[in-house]
Amino acid sequence: MSKRVIISETPFVDVEFQRSALEESGVELDVRETHTETAVAEALGEADALVADVHTPVTADTLEDADDLRLIARAGTGFDNVDVGAADDRDVYVTNVPDYCTDEVATHALGLLLACRRRIPAFDREIRDGEWSWETERPMRRVPGSTLGLVSFGGIARRLAEYVEGFDLDLLVYDPYVDESVVEEYGARSVEFPELLEESDAVSIHAPLTEETRGLFDADAFERLPEHAVVVNVGRGGIIDEADLATALNNGEIAAAGLDVLEEEPPGETPLRGLENVVITPHSGWHSLEAHDDLNRTIARQLEQALAGEKPDHAIDPEPWT
């Protein structure tokens, strides 16, 4: 009897690649848009495995009738849209692809930091509008010799720490789940969150979206940062309160922000759109041809393993999420 794999969204999943990779396993691929819990519940009731993107809500309710489901494969790194605990209760593996875009996102974070610090997009816009002036309302500060704070210290943040080694930066890390000895291996120092804010000239956010991190960067956090600080977010949009960020930028509490993720994607009427001191990219930090290929190869491998009754390589430990 063939196995049915439902692919919920296709922006990042190469359907033909998956079909070719799984054809010898007798797998039937079913591609459908599942952006509501009702649609997800219907799909899971018919699936042996689900390939889910970020807009696919997998909750305890959607899993109620998923009797044959073996795997929820997140087509990406973050999995905050999947109830890992509820899946574990039903003996369903949840996997992600943790390292397919480490270099891309670390590079993107560095690019946003430099673009904000050196005011590159703003200068470009002004020249296109017929202006020619190196002067700015805020003094531009030298990057080498400054302090970079990293919020969360997983693979991407560690790669960024390696990238900036030649910039002669002091590195601070806030991550209560990473041992201090690991942080020290990268020439960084572990600190509590308030200290990171108060001592950092720039902050790069790499954390997942959890109850602990949701709204972590609020009005109080922006008040603690120096007025010349730059905030970069390549983690999840909900970590920053966008209304508070807009207020901080408008009031000169911080200098600039570089954002690859937003609370709502694509954004609605966010106050950040019209601000000169914000650089926004469309959640593109992950993207390269190589990363896209790595993503699809890893997804296919997780499907093969789970459907063969094996534990997938990138099965997520449910304990921290239950």
User: Any catalytic annotation for residue 236?
Assistant: yes
CA distances from 287 to 3, 12, 21 (A): 30, 9, 22
Query: 120: part of which helix (H) or strand (E)?
Result: helix 120-128
Q: How many CB atoms sit inside 10 A of residue 274's CB?
A: 8
CA distances from 84 to 58, 73, 156, 208, 320 (A): 9, 11, 22, 14, 9
Spell out the residues 6+ positions from residue 257 whose beta carbon is closer than 8 angstroms to its own: 116, 230, 231, 232, 233, 245, 249, 272, 277, 278, 279
Which residue among the candidates 70, 159, 283, 292 is catalytic per the annotation?
A: 283
CA distances from 203 to 67, 74, 148 (A): 45, 28, 6
Which residue among the candidates 23, 265, 276, 310 is catalytic per the annotation?
A: 265
Geometric angle at alpha carbon 224, from 278 and 136, rounded to 5°: 40
* CB distance 240 to 214 below 8 Å: no
Which residue among the candidates 108, 158, 206, 236 is catalytic per the annotation?
A: 236
User: Any catalytic annotation for residue 126?
Assistant: no
How buried is 160 (Cβ within 10 angstroms: 0-12 exposed, 13-18 middle, 19+ buried)? Answer: buried
d(CA 9, CA 47) in angstroms, rounded, equals: 15
User: Any catalytic annotation for residue 310?
Assistant: no
* CB distance 253 to 227 below 8 Å: yes
Which residues are marked as active site?
Answer: 236, 265, 283
